[in-house]
Amino acid sequence: MADAPTRPSPPARTDALTLTPALRVVGQPVVRHDARDKVAAATAYAADWAMPGMLHAAVLRSPHAAARIVKLDTARAAAMPGVAAVLTAKDVPRNTLATDVPGQTTAVGPLRATLHVLAEGRVRHQGEPIALVAAETLEGARAAAEAIEVEYEREPGVFTPEAALAAGAPRVHDTGNLLAHWHVARGDVTGGFARAAVVVEGQYETQFVDAAYLEPESGVAWIDSDGVITIRLSTQVIEHFRDVAEVLDVPQNRVRVIGTYLGGGFGGKEDVTVEVYLGLLALRTGRPVKMVWTRQESLLSRAKRHPYRMRYRTGALASGEIVAQQVELLADAGAYAYLSALVLLYSTVTAAGPYRIPAVEVDARVAYTNNPPTSAMRGFGAMQTVFGYESQMDRVARALGLDPVTVREVNALRRGDVLPVGQVIETHAAVAELARRAWDELGPPTPPRAPHIKVGRGLSCNFQPYGRIVWLHDWSSAWVGFEMDASLVVRSGVPDVGGGQASSLCQIAAEVLGVPLQSVSIHISDSALTPLAGTTTASRQLYMSGNAVLKTARELRAQILSVAAPMLGADAGDLAMAGGAVHGPGGRTLPLPEVLRQCARAGVPRSHLAVYHAPAGEPVDLARGSGKVFPDYTFGAHAAEVEVDTETGAVRVLKYAAAHDVGRAINPQSVEGQIQGGAVQGLGYALMEEVILEDGINLTTSFASYLIPSAADVPDITPIVAESGEGLGPFNARGIGEPPIGPPAAAIANAIEDACGARVSRLPITAERVARALGLVV
């Protein structure tokens, strides 16, 4: 790597566009409480846990992508020394989970997506779990898993959505291979194309990728002294205790999930991973059981990001105004549905980009194949479409001889505009100004360092929903309470994936109740002991749990002040809480412990539990384009400068700026970290990450073959944190977990075309693909 300039990472450009009273804790780059523990390696992750008499578990998985199991004999394995249990499908009380796939159109009909805990007679993807083993040692469990006798009869499989949807294709499920189909049409696309000065067509293909968190799936389960099956694991969703209860056929109040601080999630720990297996084995053996997936196992069998084939047709006037956009999306659900229908919905809603386009048609389908299942991953369908729509915008700009920023400015959504699905943009949409800022941040062009090097720059804008679909009636609850000495406790079910989820809640509570941040302690992510807060997904936690804590803290504040008011001889409305005290008019002050003692005497609780309900809506009929789908969106723009080695096709990112309007940055340092981390994950997606499958067989089941960016592969990401002051979260914040991962792929593709004229429309943009686009290889 050539030397990068020696300077500290550029300070984020942050501004507050609205006037608000000065905040004391919120808005400060406070040190996160979990950071201290983590640098000292004091945080106990899910695998950092051992219990007396603990067994170790292993999973036997199918080596084939499509097969019948004609023989399954566990006798030899079960007889091996130290083996405590060997389970197959027949040992699972309720082996099949079925969920309704939401909002199906009449074209597909009602659909139940089935999932088996352990394979029953048939395996549909490589890595599908067939049997579980628990043994005294991990080596014993793995050896026993190998000793299970399985005979397979291979069956024909399908390995692309196109093949799956062709007539006569083998059926992955009896319901047929088309899993979901969404269609949106608004305005007159034919008329639009007719009056367009240019029509740009493009096909874009994205790949399977893995979440590749550093911490593999892990957990320990045991049966507590009161008979509660307790599962301590790394998960983004503690509510899966209900799935465990259903599978085990036990009452829901007999299963407890304790979520640990995750070593990364990114959507890969949103579905059930180890919890059901652990529950089964703990229940069967009566002993604690530990399961930690190997990296190979995780790369092999964990759900991936949906790959897409996207066909775009974009018509624009000479001014750059887009007048028609026609999009066809085809995604691969892999062997099981998981969250595919919802992912497709996100893609459908965002397919046209953050632009005001009068005529839009989107036709989106997702099909089953015998590839690994695909499910949630950071960006959730709204991420892949950015590659399509931003590659198109760049090509339209080129065709018209306009610069990239101008084309965005001409078309960018503004408040009051209507999306193709009929949703009105109700908050500030910052696309245009963010595009300008990100672009300008690149500064003067870097001169090429050698004759065979070309330098170019590219822009990419996006919008990512935050908060769940409005007709899912999302809610989050929180408990906030004072101890007698005025130290504060927050309890929230929120799982912390490393983005400072827990820390932000402490900031909010401290801000509202006027106490020092250090006096706040928080308990999170325990389905039995913390109020449920919903999933850490969908960029929803700051919005939902932040609002839940905000609401709870405000109501607690009112309770406290109702007691303090007569003590100070004032109206509650004239009181303030600050510095760990209550302040009244005329400089009168009461230390909090005094007020709290009075609360105790008066029988007024020093704690409060509240629920925040997101504004809900009715399901939208996408075909009629009639309404609000998501609560709101986070808008962003990234700009990249790259160099292309025109002899090898190698691409190096020289400079990178990432701008997002976050409404308000609760913790600016955390927001920068999310932007930088998301952008780098997006660069991995753009340049090097790919799950390589051959007829459903995964060739990249190791970190040596599945490549994620190292520190030497990416430059400093300059985060630009814009604060419009408009967002639905606490203190007008917007979600920032997912948005930064969307723009990089198109920014890089656009920069490469700018540098050397080669357009790569397939991800990842490897050096070989660039070389081919340059005509260096035939």
List % helix, strand, coil for the chain (3-state, nearest 5).
30, 25, 45
775 near another protein, rule: CB under 8 A = no
Pick one of 155, 483, 594, 713: the residue that binds another protein (CB under 8 A).
713
> Of 345-374, which residues contact another protein (CB under 8 A)?
none
Between the CA of residue 296 and those of 272, 299, 301, 302, 689, what are the distances in Å? 18, 5, 8, 10, 16
Instruction: Print burial letters for 726-753: b (CB count within 10 Å at least 16), e (below 16).
Output: bbbbbbbbbbbbbbbbbbbbbbbbbbbb
x-or-dash string of contact with another protein, 412-451, rule CB under 8 A:
----------------------------------------
Which residue carries 């009602």 as its tokens? Answer: 110
39 near another protein, rule: CB under 8 A = yes
Q: Among residues 30 and 564, whose Cβ is nearest to another protein?
A: 30
296 near another protein, rule: CB under 8 A = yes
x-or-dash string of contact with another protein, 591-630, rule CB under 8 A:
----------------------------------------
The vertex-72 CA angle with 68 and 74, nearest 5°, equals 160
> Of 477-516, which residues contact another protein (CB under 8 A)?
497-500
Tokens representing residue 536 in the block: 């850490």
> Of 647-666, which residues contact another protein (CB under 8 A)?
647-648, 650
> Of 50-89, which residues contact another protein (CB under 8 A)?
50
Q: Which stretch binds another protein (CB under 8 A): 73-81, 572-580, 602-610, 713-721?
A: 713-721
Distance separating alpha carbons of residues 498 and 767, to the nearest angstrom: 32
Q: Among residues 30 and 72, whose Cβ is nearest to another protein?
A: 30
Pick one of 28, 294, 446, 487: the residue that binds another protein (CB under 8 A).
294
Distance separating alpha carbons of residues 340 and 375, to the nearest angstrom: 6
29 near another protein, rule: CB under 8 A = yes
Give the DSSP letter string of 217-279.
Answer: SEEEEEE-TTS-EEEEE--S-GGGHHHHHHHHT--GGGEEEEEPPPS--TTTTSS--SHHHHH
Distance separating alpha carbons of residues 15 and 38, to the nearest angstrom: 30
758 near another protein, rule: CB under 8 A = no
Question: Running DSSP on this structure, what letter comes out for residue 168?
Answer: T
Pick one of 353, 404, 546, 709: the residue that binds another protein (CB under 8 A).
709
Number of residues that bind another protein (CB under 8 A): 88
Q: How far is the CB of 578 from another protein (least distance, A)?
A: 26
Distance separating alpha carbons of residues 533 and 505, to the nearest angstrom: 12
Tokens representing residue 428 in the block: 């500030």
712 near another protein, rule: CB under 8 A = yes
777 near another protein, rule: CB under 8 A = yes
Q: Among residues 50 and 167, whose Cβ is nearest to another protein?
A: 50
Pick one of 13, 16, 17, 45: the residue that binds another protein (CB under 8 A).
45
> Of 129-148, which residues contact another protein (CB under 8 A)?
139, 142-143, 146
35 near another protein, rule: CB under 8 A = yes
What type of residue sits at position 563?
V
Instruction: Print burial letters for 102-121: b (CB count within 10 Å at least 16), e (below 16).
Output: bbbeeebeebebebbbbbee
Q: Which helix (H) or strand (E) holds 745?
A: helix 744-756
Pick one of 117, 292, 397, 721: the residue that binds another protein (CB under 8 A).
292
> Of 676-695, which residues contact another protein (CB under 8 A)?
676-681, 688, 692, 694
> Of 321-340, which residues contact another protein (CB under 8 A)?
none
x-or-dash string of contact with another protein, 444-483, rule CB under 8 A:
----------------------------------------
Closest CA to 420 of 160, 124, 182, 219: 182
